[in-house]
């Protein structure tokens, strides 16, 4: 019978196989549609992906967030740093405010990557 521990070990081993031969952790990207109007307010839920599957990794990661309006025009990019096992609940209104935009809807895409020089132990 498969146990929770078996699943965790299998997941950890699979993620470790994805690590490049030089022990540099791979980047992972995501995309999200946002609506920022009266009564509807979107949020991004950012997580330190690497520490979840590689608990022995305790370095921070950078999250690069690119924001586009509904026509696909790039509004700008912001960066956040997440410590090990951290998550961030980021309102779309905060991103739009930082970029000086009032777009009512659009998309955000983000890439999480280890800080330069980070390797797995």
**pLDDT tens string 32-51:** 899 999 899 999 988 887 77
pLDDT of residue 104 exceeding 90: yes
Q: What's the distance, CA 69 to chain centroid? A: 20
Q: What's the start-to-end Cα distance of the chain, in Å?
A: 31
At 16 the pLDDT is 64
> Does the residue 119 lie in any domain?
no
Mean pLDDT value across residues 86-93: 92
Residue 7 or 47, more confident? 47
Count: domains in the chain = 1
CA trace torsion 44, 13, 18, 110 (10° rounding): 0
Mean pLDDT value across residues 54-74: 86
Which residue, among 15, 53, 32, has the nearest Cα to 111 in the 3D structure?
32
At 118 the pLDDT is 54
Domain limits for position 66: 4-114
> Does the residue 120 lie in any domain?
no
> Does the residue 97 lie in any domain?
yes
> Does the residue 121 lie in any domain?
no
pLDDT band at 86 (very low <50, low <70, confident <90, very high): confident
């Amino acid at each position: 019978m498969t146990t929770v521990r078996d699943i965790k070990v299998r997941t950890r081993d699979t993620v470790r196989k994805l690590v490049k031969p030089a022990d540099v952790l791979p980047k992972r990207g995501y995309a999200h549609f946002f609506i920022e109007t009266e009564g509807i307010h979107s949020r991004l839920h950012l997580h330190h992906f690497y520490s979840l599957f590689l608990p022995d990794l305790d370095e921070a990661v950078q999250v690069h967030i690119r924001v586009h309006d509904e026509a696909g025009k790039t509004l700008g990019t912001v960066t956040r740093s997440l410590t090990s096992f951290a998550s961030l609940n980021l309102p779309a209104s905060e991103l739009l405010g930082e970029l000086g935009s009032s777009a009512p809807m659009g998309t955000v895409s983000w890439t999480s990557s280890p800080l330069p020089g980070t390797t797995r132990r």
